[in-house]
């Protein structure tokens, strides 16, 4: 895929993976629309993009709100005239044992991490279908492939993993539907990356439980922790995967190994069911 002259829209683009991908694409010749709820970082990201000589729009957008996402699409198309690449990247976290998570917290994380992706596709897909071309990247997580990767997800990250599994399933369906129509779909499933997800999370529990969870999350996203990589490294992986038109974009060998192990477990389950119930 060539990026020169393309227009890319990236939600959650003011920091972390979104910002790094925005800059990587800009350096390859794309014009960028970054959206986020952090207006200060949003302005900084726009300036960085413009500093490499590309056009940039910075649009405040809360992906949990229909009107905000519709406005993002309307402003992008009215100003830049087209969208070639859509990266649904905005995300948050809820950390708690599942019995303590309120329905409001479930609605919050699903409204951003899953419905935010769906809203993005809903707003921009008609334009891509009309043109018969486009590229959609949805950001999931290693936790969207294997519920116990990393292990703490199985204990305190069930809400996050649930939302991210939904993104993978949605993306698989889109891939099958849109590929014949000239629109490519990829799902990004990063492992541990230096982002501000820990700051964009809700913690539920006793004061001590919350303190312990915050310490654990800080360690998970610390660049000095083995296995943690920079968001700029992820951006290069994303660019390479887009050029190769790969559906799964994985950032860590451990994630690939965990996914292979999950596949083997499914095969074992299938054999068990056949042995138990017959064909």
Q: How far is CA 29 from CA 3, 4, 56, 121, 243, in A?
A: 6, 4, 12, 24, 14
Q: How far apart are CA 94 and CA 106, in angstroms?
A: 8
> Which residues sit opposite 94 in a β-bridge?
202
For the chain, counts of helices (H) and of strands (E): 10, 9
Q: How far is CA 141 from CA 31, 73, 145, 184, 192, in A?
A: 26, 25, 7, 19, 9
Q: Which of 135, 160, 177, 203 is catalytic?
A: 160
Q: How far apart are CA 125 and CA 123, in angstroms?
A: 6
Q: Which helix (H) or strand (E) holds 91?
A: none
Token output for 191: 């492992």
188: left (phi over 0), alpha (psi -120 to 50) or beta: beta
Q: Is 186 helix (H, G, I), strand (E, B) or coil?
A: strand
Q: Is 160 a catalytic residue?
A: yes
**Active-site residues: which are they?**
160
């Amino acid at each position: 895929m060539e990026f020169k002259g393309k227009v890319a829209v990236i939600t959650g683009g003011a920091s972390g993976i979104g910002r790094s991908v925005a800059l990587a694409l800009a350096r390859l010749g794309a014009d960028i629309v970054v959206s986020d709820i952090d207006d200060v970082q949003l302005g900084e990201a726009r300036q960085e993009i413009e500093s490499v000589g590309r056009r940039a729009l910075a649009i405040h957008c809360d992906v949990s709100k229909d009107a905000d996402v519709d406005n993002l699409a309307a402003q992008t198309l009215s100003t830049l005239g087209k969208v070639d690449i859509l990266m649904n990247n905005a995300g948050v976290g809820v950390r708690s044992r599942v019995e303590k998570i309120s329905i409001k917290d479930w609605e919050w994380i699903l409204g951003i991490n899953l419905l935010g992706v769906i809203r993005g596709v809903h707003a921009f897909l008609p334009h891509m279908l009309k043109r018969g071309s486009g590229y959609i990247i949805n950001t999931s997580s290693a936790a969207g492939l294997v519920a116990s990767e990393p292990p703490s997800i199985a204990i305190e990250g069930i809400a996050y993993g649930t939302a991210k599994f939904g993104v993978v399933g949605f993306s698989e369906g889109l891939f099958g539907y849109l590929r014949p129509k000239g629109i490519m779909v990829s799902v990004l499933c990063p492992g541990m990356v230096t982002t501000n997800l820990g700051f964009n999370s809700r913690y539920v529990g006793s004061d001590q439980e919350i303190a312990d969870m915050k310490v654990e999350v800080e360690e998970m996203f610390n660049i000095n922790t083995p296995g943690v990589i920079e968001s700029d490294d992820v951006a290069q992986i994303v660019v390479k995967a887009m050029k190769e038109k790969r559906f799964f974009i994985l950032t860590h060998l451990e994630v690939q190994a965990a996914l292979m192990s999950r596949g083997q477990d499914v095969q074992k389950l299938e054999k068990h069911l056949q042995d138990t119930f017959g064909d």
